[in-house]
A and B are shown apart, each in its own frame.
Chain A
Amino acid sequence: MSNSQHLGRQIEFMPGNEVVAEAALAAGCRFFAGYPITPSSEIAHHISKRLPEVGGKFIQMEDEIAAMGAIIGASLCGLKVMTATSGPGFSLKQENIGFACMVEAPCVIVNVMRGGPSTGLPTQLGQSDIQQTRWGTHGDRPVIALAPAYLDEVYTETVRAFNLAERFRMPVFVLIDEVIGHLSERLEIPDPSELEIIDRVGPNVPPEEYIPYDSSQSDVPPMAAYFSGYRFHMTGLNHDRTGFPTTTQSICHSENVRSMRKVEDHIAEIEKFENYLTDDAEIGIITFGSSARAAIVAIDDARQRGVKVGMLRPLTLWPFPEQAAFELSKHCKTIIVPEANLGQLIYEVQRVTKGNSEVVGVNKVGGVPIYPGEVFDKIVECSGKK
């Protein structure tokens, strides 16, 4: 980045992965632990240089499991934290992601998606971790996953990821892909004064009265930091409001349900999507991230041919904008779901559109993004205007 001091709105030109790092710093990230993996490594390259400059810390751990553990540890001591990874590294992190959900530790996990499974296509894009993000770690837990498509959004959504993590005391995912991570484009970086920055809510009771999972005021319990004078216990075991393990069914059940409510009851606050020419659409497109950048070109082309097509683009993949998708399905005979995988988000679209529309995919794997022409052909096919 040319200028580390952001004065006013700034026009920048830098790669997506660096945008992630800069946005994290602006959001207040002061600790990053990672393990090198393509195509996410540039996030670590950039932030390892920048964090010490602002008094923060970077550590390259011995593997992704360790990186995930280290960020949770630092988060529990009060810092805003992030890790970034791809493919195999995301798989390795899953157990500790569940731990972060269980102890309710705010943290941001960036996944720069690549082709898979296994080592797959290290240097090329995939969008194949959509369902893993939702279901990857075992057990029931709430999920927030953001999927920006343009670098301006990569910046603002990364900031928002930190805010949501702190606000709801939970891991928040930022899903981009190799294409977004590596391309550079013109972006406007907001002035710091324009950014809303949310910090976790601390306890308003003295240490003797502190209950780590006190949800009497809110489903998001106030959070004390370790070493702040509050002495408490946290565990990955099911626990009651005191933080100590319990196997009492009713408590395990209600605590688990409470954690789900953190997202379920705040959909309006969390959910984000963009509607593009959907009002009169007879064919709908639902897609995200780099695939949405192909779809929008296809839509403009198809509109010129007189096809009434529009797009719902979720910026939150989880929670998925159910209501918006349902509304779209009411007036679309077909909904097309382009994604650089063999069909993942399409399950959610099918579920929430409740049979209103025929739902079809445009799917492509192998490391090359979906092109506008491929979406266009599908639109034409579905419109019957050959």
Chain B
Amino acid sequence: MQDHYEARFAAVGGQGILLAGDILAEAAINYEGLYALDSPTYTAQVRGGPTKVDVIIDKNRILFTRTTAIDFMLCLAQRSWDRFGYDLKSDCIVLIDPFLVHTVDRNYRVYELPLIELTKKEMKKMVYTSAVALGAMVGLTEIFKPESVVKALLKKAPKGTEEANEKAFKLGYNSGRELLK
């Protein structure tokens, strides 16, 4: 990973995307020896409204609390793009679900993966969306070793869901790798 990395996970409330940010940050801190900070959008209406979590990862102590030059953005809703599609670096990697996001600025490095469909089909339960998304992000960006993120994911996963979560992550990860081909 470069010295400083910024990622944004944007969706609508209820998709469990805030958790993905936490897991990435925990992976950075606990398994990569880095510093990490995340700040979720904080609104009264969490369900249904556009939400995001910004994660900052750095080799050194993180100073400023907000993102200013985003390296990676995941977007799972058009409304979320419209609201949060700013502060991106010119070569930002943008991963979208093409069924849910139609209009994005194609000057960024845009990749498309039907994450929701994939999760529905392979995992049957939507609670695994964040694990699939996280896998795809790691596959696509190779920000960390996948093992680091899996460890963090399993630490956070509710008891009894570890296996499914790991499966979801791998599913996302492999799909992310595919996109690079």
A and B touch in the complex (CB under 8 A): yes
Q: Which residues of A contact B (CB under 8 A)?
A: 2, 11, 13, 38-39, 122-124, 150, 178-180, 182-186, 290, 293-294, 296-297, 369, 371-373
CA distance A341 to B28 in the complex (A): 34
A77 to B68 Cα, complex, angstroms: 50
Contact between A290 and B37 (Cβ–Cβ < 8 Å)? no
User: Which residues of B36-78 have CB atoms within 8 Å of chain A's CB atoms?
Assistant: 36-40, 42-44, 61-66, 68
> Would B63 and A183 count as touching, CB distance under 8 A?
no
Contact (Cβ within 8 A) B68 A11: no
Q: Is the CB–CB distance between A371 and B30 below 8 Å? A: no
Q: A293 touching B63 by the CB < 8 A rule? A: yes
- B interface residues, how many (CB within 8 angstroms): 22
Extra A-B contacts (18), CB below 8 Å, given A13-B26, A180-B65: A13-B30, A122-B44, A123-B44, A150-B61, A178-B42, A179-B65, A183-B37, A184-B25, A184-B39, A185-B35, A185-B62, A186-B62, A293-B63, A293-B65, A294-B65, A297-B63, A371-B64, A372-B68
| A183 and B38 contacting across the interface, CB-CB below 8 Å | yes
Is the CB–CB distance between B39 and A182 below 8 Å? yes
Contact A11 B30 (CB under 8 A): yes
Shortest distance in angstroms between B29's beta carbon and chain A's nearest beta carbon? 5
The residues of A that contact B37 with a CB separation of less than 8 Å are 183-186
**Is A38 touching B22 in the complex (CB atoms < 8 A)?**
no
Whole-angstrom distance between the Cβ of B69 and the nearest chain A Cβ? 11
Set of chain B residues within 8 Å of A179, measured between Cβ atoms: 39, 65-66
Residues of B near A294 (CB, < 8 A) are 64-65
Report Cα–Cα, A185/B62, bound state, in Å: 8
Q: Which residues of B contact A290 (CB under 8 A)?
A: 65
Min CB gap A375→B, angstroms: 10
Which residues from chain B contact A13 at a C-beta distance below 8 Å?
22, 25-26, 29-30, 36
Instruction: Establish whether residues A186 and B29, one from each chain, have CB atoms under 8 Å apart when the complex forms.
Output: yes
- State A369–B64 Cα separation when bound (angstroms): 10
A87 to B2 CA separation, bound complex (whole angstroms): 40
Instruction: Tell whether, in the assembled complex, residue B42 and residue A182 are in contact, meaning their CB atoms are under 8 Å apart.
Output: yes
Give chain B residues whose Cβ lies under 8 Å from the Cβ of A39.
Answer: 42
